[in-house]
A and B are shown apart, each in its own frame.
Chain A
């Protein structure tokens, strides 16, 4: 139960590559995480604030059509709207390709994994097809910069993010006694408040009640958004007076965004939050029933470091239970495909430069058959963790089909399966897989069977 480079790259990273070295020690891994985010620089994705087409430009295009009925201007406005839609579609595919390219190229694989973990923790779904391309920019702005920083900072970035406000209806919520509520029929909406407590911080077993949900919902009123102007704090919509969340009073003076941000600090540093996050992280990386001592250590380090997520990761990597030899987890479809591309040594620039059509054929559609519609999990609780959720007949049909068909389209000539088994699984692959690689009648079958094997799908 000690560090092993192959295990480090497979379990905590993004899979082995014939031309990118696996980390040599826990210190290597932590050093990379503490350093600059090289992949974000090499393979940029727009941040939300600069991403186009934005909500505002999409809205403006719709208004332009409405304001110019039956004129030549209407035709122009419609052409403009169609162009924006096309740009959005292109950007959505490019975001996916870029995310895969980062994963294929990196030597700091755990950062990619942590980004996906926290993006899933703070799941948002695009409210319409026209803004699907804005999910990646949300992650780039609100999640990725904080995965090795303070959880409270991530939480604060998330709850002022338009993607989250719109996804969980917060922008529609008004304080029942607010000025705005007197003028219109709208009122309170508990959706975001409930998920903040249940999913994002304390966890469903945490020490909160319906009253805490209600009070937090009242505190969050004022987090406003409009397509035209984006996020704004709206004092007129905020419920007047102090709100008591988990026994702490927030606000009471003039409504202010700071009261809400302070409450996020309180939620982030709650011991139930530490336990919930540590357990979830350990379940994600290690096992469905992680060693309680490991979880306790991670939670304690997090709290001791004022909610620092790198400290929590360090607590995990330094614990012997993290290096238990049995691979209990399986790769999610995105990680499955990206790690296969790594093992196949597909160059990152080929991935990043793929056409819309190629991205759909090689990544997006196969992921869907494997059970993961990219950036569209069913609910705000994100993707399931259990291996049984993914390794189903249809999930395996998707994985086996991809393994048998995709490599041939991507790599010419295909590698010799006898070598490829080492690229994919390291110097000591399980003997049945090495045997299958030797026994295959064709390169296609040999490479395919290695990629479809339990050994490659588990970590």
Chain B
């Protein structure tokens, strides 16, 4: 992290480390592009077939007797063929406004072992597989590595857990909205001394202190966000105290400034049993999140793309316990004014047994990385060589899927 040089210099020169905030958002150079990208990782494997239900496929009803197949009056029709799970109903107005959509029958290149953890690693690493040893970095980080001179605040990993998708050589910012920190000037200098020879602790501590300070200076910005949210009729029904709402609120506050990329995860999609209730609950959480982003971003929403990615889909058939087991093909959800919502994209493979992957899962007809790549090409201006090379090795982007406005 290059920013540490600054810290170390001030220490070497004997400056009081407490004299002034080291870096404030105001001091940052503007980013070289203006659009915003939010990547939400849905951990646990979202059941694409239940969220975006292919009612128009004759194979659907018999596979899902208890999960919308028998005709669920609550589901909202999308385009005559697909319907939206009732738990996501608050996103239906966004669908009608062309700000929310989906891509169906997609997956990462991961196949067969159906492990959450490997599946998430491959999704976030953006690689064709796990071969070749340890996972060095994530695809969003490799994208940043291609652009020199970016400030770490260009990209924010938000939440308590590490996000592989943003980890790597390129400096990024990382914070959890619930952390707070107050340290005396003396203690801060001493911390620099005791961490001098340990880069991991040195960087993390210095970042913690910097971010805590910049947040304190940002109090005004936070108030502004709160006021915007309070005014928005869309926020009706959103409970502001939930973790995912706080993450989205924090992301919006950063993205309204100089941050261009934000990523966080929403867990709890592993619906092996009683999926009807579980997915309603997750649908509410994801709806809250997207609505909070929209409200918090204000005008910036118009140039924002939100991609919701999951490690794999779930079995085509409902299992014996009112849920579904780990599968292969699934759906990517997307939102934001920069994308063409109001449509379900993708090449539908059908649900007849012969059309399924391994006779059990929805057949992926396209690599979901292609959609992420096309979005980044349009939003950030990356070229095909960069996208099919360093960012998503082994990817063939194919024709534009029609995601961009």
Check if B190 sits within 8 Å of A449, measured CB to CB.
yes
The answer to the question of A300 belonging to the interface, with a C-beta cut-off of 8 Å to chain B, is no
Q: How far is the CA of A188 from the CA of B325 in the complex (A)?
A: 10
A82 interface hit (Cβ, 8 Å): no
Shortest CB-to-CB span from A274 to chain B, Å, is 20
Residues of chain A contacted by B191 (CB below 8 angstroms): 400, 436, 449, 452-453
Set of chain A residues within 8 Å of B270, measured between Cβ atoms: 379
CB distance from B138 to the nearest CB of A (A): 13
How far, in Å, is B32 (CB) from chain A's closest CB? 24
Assess whether A201 is interfacial by the CB under 8 Å rule. no
Q: Which residues in chain B, 176-192, are within 8 Å of chain A measured between CB atoms?
A: 176, 178-184, 186-187, 190-191
* Inter-chain contact A432/B112, CB cutoff 8 Å: no
Minimum-distance CB pairs A-B, first 4: A187-B320, A172-B321, A394-B179, A393-B207
Say if the beta carbon of A259 comes within 8 Å of chain B.
no
Contact at B115–A204, with CB atoms within 8 Å? yes
The CA-CA distance from A401 to B183 in the complex, in Å, is 8
Q: How far is the CA of A172 from the CA of B325 in the complex (A)?
A: 13
| B320 contacts A449, C-beta separation under 8 Å | no
Tell me whether A455 is interfacial, beta carbon within 8 Å.
yes
Contacts of B173 in A (CB 8 A): 393
* B44:A379 contact, CB within 8 angstroms: yes
Which of B83-91, B196-204, B370-378 makes up part of the contact surface? B196-204
Query: When the two chains form their complex, are residues A436 and B193 in contact, meaning their CB atoms are under 8 A apart?
Result: yes
On whether the beta carbons of A400 and B183 are closer than 8 Å, the reply is yes
Tell me the count of chain A residues lying within 8 A, CB to CB, of chain B: 58
Chain A residues with CB under 8 Å of B187's CB are 404, 440, 445, 448-449
Point out the residues of chain A lying under 8 angstroms from B193, CB to CB.
432, 435-436, 439
Which residue of A190, A397, A457 is within 8 Å of B326 (Cβ)?
Answer: A190
**Chain B positions within 8 Å of A368 at CB level:** 160, 178
> Which residues of the other chain, B, contact A188 by a CB distance below 8 angstroms?
319-320
A412-456 contacts to B, CB under 8 A, are: 430, 432-433, 435-436, 439-442, 445, 448-449, 452-455
The answer to whether B281 has its CB under 8 Å from any CB of chain A is no
Cβ–Cβ < 8 Å partners of A441 in chain B: 184, 186
Pairwise interchain contact A189-B205, C-beta atoms closer than 8 A:
no
Contact A189/B319 with A393-B204, A400-B181 known, Cβ cut-off 8 Å: yes
Interface 1/0 per residue, B200-238 and A, CB below 8 Å: 110011011001100000000000000000000000000
Inter-chain contact total with CB atoms closer than 8 Å: 170
Inter-subunit contact B196/A387 (CB<8 Å): no
* Interface residue from A173, A191, A432 paired with B196 (Cβ < 8 Å): A432
Q: Is the CB of A262 closer than 8 A to any CB of chain B?
A: no
Q: Does A389 contact B (CB under 8 A)?
A: yes
CB of A27 closer than 8 Å to a CB of B: no
A397 to B216, CA, bound (A): 14
- Alpha-carbon distance A394/B200, docked complex (angstroms): 13
B246 at the interface (CB under 8 A from A): no
B323 at the interface (CB under 8 A from A): yes
**Nearest chain A CB to B175 CB, angstrom units:** 6
Residues of A within 8 A of B358 (CB): 210
Task: Evaluate contact between A393 and B174: CB separation under 8 angstroms.
Answer: yes
CA A457 to CA B198, docked complex, whole Å: 11
| Complex contact A445–B325 (CB within 8 A) | no
Q: Within 8 Å of chain B (Cβ to Cβ): is A232? A: no
A277 to B391: give the CA distance in the assembly, Å: 34
Interface centre among A440, A445, A448 (most CB of B within 10 A): A445
Besides A397-B208, A404-B187, 9 new A-B residue pairs in contact (Cβ under 8 A), listed by A number: A173-B321, A186-B320, A392-B174, A393-B204, A393-B207, A396-B205, A401-B179, A432-B196, A441-B186
In this assembly, does B162 line the interface, its C-beta being within 8 Å of a C-beta of chain A?
yes
Residues of B within 8 A of A210 (CB): 112-114, 358
Measured between beta carbons, the chain A residues less than 8 angstroms from B196 are 432
- Residues in B with CB closer than 8 Å to A391 are 200-201, 204
Considering the chains assembled together, what is the distance between the CA atoms of A432 and B196 in angstroms? Answer: 9
Task: Answer whether residue A224 sits at the interface, using C-beta atoms and an 8 A cutoff.
Answer: no
- Cα(A397)–Cα(B176), bound, Å: 10
User: Is the CB–CB distance between A186 and B322 below 8 Å?
Assistant: yes
Is A174 at the interface (CB under 8 A from chain B)? yes
A315 in contact (CB, < 8 A)? no
In the complex, residue of chain A having the shortest beta-carbon distance to the beta carbon of B358: A210
Q: Which of B197, B207, B320 contacts A189 (CB 8 A)?
A: B320
Is A388's CB under 8 angstroms from B321's CB?
no
> Can you identify 18 A-B contacts, CB atoms within 8 angstroms?
A169-B323, A187-B321, A188-B320, A191-B325, A210-B114, A369-B180, A393-B207, A393-B208, A394-B178, A394-B179, A396-B205, A401-B181, A442-B184, A442-B186, A448-B187, A449-B190, A454-B194, A457-B201
On chain A, the residues within 8 Å of B212 by CB distance are 397
A430 to B195, CA, bound (A): 11
CA distance A442 to B173 in the complex (A): 32
Cβ–Cβ < 8 Å partners of A189 in chain B: 272-273, 319-321, 323, 325
Contacts of B179 in A (CB 8 A): 369, 393-394, 397-398, 401
Q: Is B81 an interface residue (CB 8 A)?
A: no
Q: Does B117 contact A (CB under 8 A)?
A: yes
A436 to B192, CA, bound (A): 10
| B72 is an interface residue with CB less than 8 A from chain A | no
B165 to chain A, nearest CB (A): 14
Instruction: Give the nearest-CB partner of B196 in chain A.
Output: A432
Q: Which residues of A contact B190 (CB under 8 A)?
A: 436, 439-440, 445, 449
Cβ of B350 under 8 Å from chain A: no
Q: A391-B200, A397-B212, A400-B191 are in contact. Are A190 and B325 (CB under 8 A)?
A: yes
- Given A172-B321, A173-B320, A398-B179, A393 contacting B211 (CB threshold 8 A): yes
Q: Check B194 against A432 for contact (C-beta < 8 Å).
A: yes
B265 to A: closest C-beta gap in Å: 9
Q: For residue A185, which residues in chain B have a CB less than 8 angstroms away from its CB? A: 65-66, 320
Residue B366 is within 8 A (CB to CB) of chain A in the complex: no
CB of A202 to closest CB in B, whole Å: 12
Which of A186, A394, A396, A436: most chain B CB closer than 10 A?
Answer: A394
Please state if A397 and B319 are interface contacts (CB–CB under 8 Å): no
Is B57 positioned at the interface, with any CB of A under 8 Å from its CB? no
The reply on B353 being an interface residue by CB < 8 A is no
Judging by beta carbons under 8 Å apart, are B320 and A371 in contact?
no
CB-CB contacts of A155-177 with B at 8 A, as 1s and 0s? 00000000000001100111010
Of the candidates B117, B161, B198, the one whose C-beta lies within 8 Å of that of A454 is B198
CB distance from A115 to the nearest CB of B (A): 23
Q: How far is the CB of A444 from chain B (nearest CB, A)?
A: 8
Q: How far is the CA of A389 from the CA of B186 in the complex (A)?
A: 28
Q: Does A198 contact B (CB under 8 A)?
A: yes
CB pair B178–A204 under 8 Å, yes or no, is: no
Residue interface bits A249-268, CB-to-B below 8 A is 1, else 0: 00000000000000000000
Chain A residue at minimal CB-CB distance from B43: A378
Q: Which of A346-399 contact B (CB under 8 A)?
A: 368-369, 371, 373, 378-379, 381, 384, 387-389, 391-398
Cα distance A435–B28 when bound, in Å? 35
With A and B bound together, what is the CA distance between A381 and B43 in angstroms? 13
Interface: B79 (CB within 8 A): no
Residues A394 and B182 in contact in the complex (CB < 8 Å), given A186-B322, A189-B325, A371-B161: no
Task: Say yes or no: A394-B208 contact (C-beta < 8 A), given A369-B179, A371-B161, A400-B183.
Answer: yes
Contacts known (A174-B320, A204-B117, A394-B176); A440 close to B186, Cβ less than 8 A: yes
Is A146's beta carbon under 8 Å from chain B? no
Q: Assess the B201–A449 pair: CB atoms within 8 A.
A: no
Task: Determine whether B116 belongs to the interface, using a CB cutoff of 8 Å to chain A.
Answer: yes
Evaluate whether A169 and B273 lie within 8 angstroms (CB atoms) in the complex, with A189-B323, A379-B43, A440-B186 already known. yes
